[in-house]
């Protein structure tokens, strides 16, 4: 009998000062070609030795991720950058100085030491220094760059607690370092510096406003694509169906009052059809649904966009676990971290946006 699954070891670690023995064990697994999931300041990552093509291949298999979607390489310090990336420009250096460690991923020219499979065959590489003690200690202990996409199955919402990682990957990975809830809860911003103009590929933990301090004319031109893998190759990571719950999610845009009124109508109609309905809303707005048979996920105070951002992926997963068939979410203002929240909700909705201001 072929044994396709092994037990996943789970070790709890202090997110601000992980135990050295746990880090040593994790580093040994990485250097032996294994897979280790760990918390970062954004979401949980699924790591492999970025210099080991066979280990990198295992990431794609474990996640069910198409080989056309490139991975992010994590390093522990700026002096490792030159071993990963080439032609690092003055702009790249100043962005790294300003935002690392932190949730900004830079796409640069790839060094040959990084296997082509990490970057899905491209001559570029995505790299960042995470702002979290666990991956920093791990990259230092292993002494190699660590390739790590988010630690979820392909197209599922990204994991913000260890239980989400296990939900998707238990038995498919060697070790999970459980460091509690990830502080940002949304992935890093991906900025491509290899073209004629810097291009924002994915809004994330570093806001567009902060980047504009360095790149005044930066814009986000979403180029979502509907189908993989051919289209994904032209525009990696921009698959519209991404971060999706199993339930069908609808995103309501427009003024809060109108959006809420339309959501209420939609909830009533779905309930009448016999559907199980979940709603995700700022705390102040949950009263709108108090008399309806819906499951409510309060996302946090309306003005606390950081908290809302931290909760959306967990909210989608919870509603899936509770068997919802439809999820209704009110959109957020697309400023600051709101741009990343909007992007994730839009993709979870696979583009189903209900405009309520006309």
Q: Note whether 105 binds ligand TXA by CB under 6 A.
A: yes
Nearest distance from residue 226's CB to Mg ion, in Å? 18
Q: Note whether 160 binds ligand TXA by CB under 6 A.
A: no
Please give the backbone phi and psi of residue 286, each rounded to the nearest 5 degrees, phi first.
-70, -20
Where on the chain is the footprint of Mg ion (CB under 5 A)? 150
Q: Which of 115, 180, 222, 237 binds ligand TXA (CB under 6 A)?
A: 237
Q: Which of 11, 56, 84, 126 binds ligand TXA (CB under 6 A)?
A: 126
Q: Note whether 148 binds ligand TXA by CB under 6 A.
A: yes
The smaller minimum CB distance to ligand TXA, of residues 176 and 250, is found at 176
Tokens of 249: 């999610």
The smaller minimum CB distance to Mg ion, of residues 169 and 279, is found at 169
Q: How far apart are CA 176 and CA 39, in angstroms?
A: 9
Q: Note whether 43 binds ligand TXA by CB under 6 A.
A: yes
Nearest distance from residue 201's CB to ligand TXA, in Å? 5
Q: Note whether 149 binds ligand TXA by CB under 6 A.
A: yes
Q: How far apart are CA 241 and CA 344, in angstroms?
A: 10
Nearest distance from residue 113's CB to Mg ion, in Å? 24
H-run or E-run covering 272 = helix 256-272
Q: Note whether 71 binds ligand TXA by CB under 6 A.
A: yes
Q: Note whether 124 binds ligand TXA by CB under 6 A.
A: yes
Count of C-beta atoms within a 10 Å radius of residue 265: 10
Q: Note whether 11 binds ligand TXA by CB under 6 A.
A: no
Please give the backbone phi and psi of residue 340, each rounded to the nearest 5 degrees, phi first.
-70, -40
Q: How far apart are CA 113 and CA 125, in angstroms?
A: 11
Q: Residue 34: name its binding partner from Mg ion, ligand TXA, none (Cβ under 5 to 8 Å by kind).
A: none
Q: Tokens 């996302």 appear where?
A: 299
- Cβ neighbours for 57, distance < 8 A, ≥ 6 positions apart: 117
Q: Note whether 63 binds ligand TXA by CB under 6 A.
A: no
Q: Note whether 249 binds ligand TXA by CB under 6 A.
A: no
Asked if 98 and 91 count as a contact pair (C-beta separation under 8 A), the reply is no
Q: How far apart are CA 127 and CA 204, in angstroms?
A: 14
Q: How far apart are CA 169 and CA 46, in angstroms?
A: 10
Q: Residue 236: name its binding partner from ligand TXA, Mg ion, none (Cβ under 5 to 8 Å by kind).
A: ligand TXA
Q: Note whether 168 binds ligand TXA by CB under 6 A.
A: no
Q: How far apart are CA 240 and CA 255, in angstroms?
A: 24
Q: How far apart are CA 75 and CA 354, in angstroms?
A: 41
The sign of the dihedral angle between the CA atoms of 299, 302, 307, 309 is positive
Nearest distance from residue 155's CB to Mg ion, in Å? 9
Between CA 331 and CA 279, with CA 277 as vertex, the angle to 5 degrees is 30
Q: How far apart are CA 173 and CA 6, in angstroms?
A: 8
Q: Which stretch binds ligand TXA (CB under 6 A): 148-156, 247-255, 273-281, 307-315?
A: 148-156
Q: Which stretch binds ligand TXA (CB under 6 A): 36-44, 267-275, 285-293, 340-348?
A: 36-44
- Cβ neighbours for 56, distance < 8 A, ≥ 6 positions apart: 48, 49, 50, 71, 115, 117, 118, 147
Tokens of 122: 């491209």
Q: Which of 70, 185, 203, 254 binds ligand TXA (CB under 6 A)?
A: 70
The smaller minimum CB distance to ligand TXA, of residues 242 and 262, is found at 242
Q: From edge to edge, which strands make up the β-sheet containing 295-298?
A: 295-298, 277-281, 326-330, 248-253, 353-355
The smaller minimum CB distance to Mg ion, of residues 191 and 296, is found at 191
Query: Taking CB positions, which residue lies at the least distance from ligand TXA?
Result: 237
Q: Which of 50, 201, 327, 340 binds ligand TXA (CB under 6 A)?
A: 201
The smaller minimum CB distance to ligand TXA, of residues 8 and 124, is found at 124
Nearest distance from residue 64's CB to ligand TXA, in Å? 13
Give the residues lining the site for ligand TXA (CB under 6 A).
40, 42-43, 45, 69-72, 103, 105, 107, 119, 122, 124-126, 130, 148-150, 187-188, 190, 192, 201-202, 236-237
């Amino acid at each position: 009998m072929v044994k396709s699954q092994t037990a996943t070891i789970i070790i709890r670690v202090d997110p601000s000062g992980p135990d050295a023995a746990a880090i040593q064990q994790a580093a040994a697994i990485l250097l032996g070609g294994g897979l280790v999931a760990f918390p970062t300041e954004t979401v949980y990552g699924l790591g492999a030795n970025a210099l080991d093509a066979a280990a990198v291949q295992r990431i794609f298999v474990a996640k069910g991720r198409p080989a056309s979607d490139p991975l992010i390489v994590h390093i522990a310090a700026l002096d490792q950058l030159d071993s990963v990336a080439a032609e690092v420009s003055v702009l790249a250096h100043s962005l790294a100085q300003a935002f690392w460690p932190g949730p900004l991923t830079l796409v640069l020219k790839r060094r040959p030491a990084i296997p082509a499979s990490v970057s899905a065959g491209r001559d570029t590489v995505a790299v960042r220094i995470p702002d979290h003690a666990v991956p920093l200690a791990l990259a230092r202990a292993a002494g190699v760059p660590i390739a790590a996409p988010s630690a979820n199955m392909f197209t599922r919402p990204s994991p913000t607690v260890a239980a989400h990682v296990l939900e998707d990957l238990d038995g498919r990975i060697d070790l999970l370092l459980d460091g509690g809830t990830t502080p940002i809860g949304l992935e890093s911003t991906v900025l491509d510096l290899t073209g004629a103009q810097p291009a924002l590929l994915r809004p994330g933990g570093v806001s567009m406003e902060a980047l504009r301090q360095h790149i005044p004319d930066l814009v986000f031109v979403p180029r979502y694509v509907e189908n993989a893998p051919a289209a994904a190759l032209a525009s990696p990571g921009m698959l519209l169906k991404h971060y999706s719950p199993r339930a069908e999610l609808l995103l309501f845009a427009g003024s809060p009052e109108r959006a809420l009124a339309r959501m209420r109508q939609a909830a009533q109609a779905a309930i009448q059809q016999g559907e199980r309905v979940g709603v995700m809303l700022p705390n102040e707005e949950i009263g709108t649904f108090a008399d309806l048979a819906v499951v409510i996920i309060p996302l946090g105070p309306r003005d606390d966009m950081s908290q809302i951002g931290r909760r959306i992926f967990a909210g989608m997963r919870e509603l899936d676990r509770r068997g919802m068939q439809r999820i209704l979410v009110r959109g957020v203002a697309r400023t600051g971290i709101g741009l990343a929240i909007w992007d994730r909700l839009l993709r979870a909705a696979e583009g189903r946006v209900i405009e309520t201001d006309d």
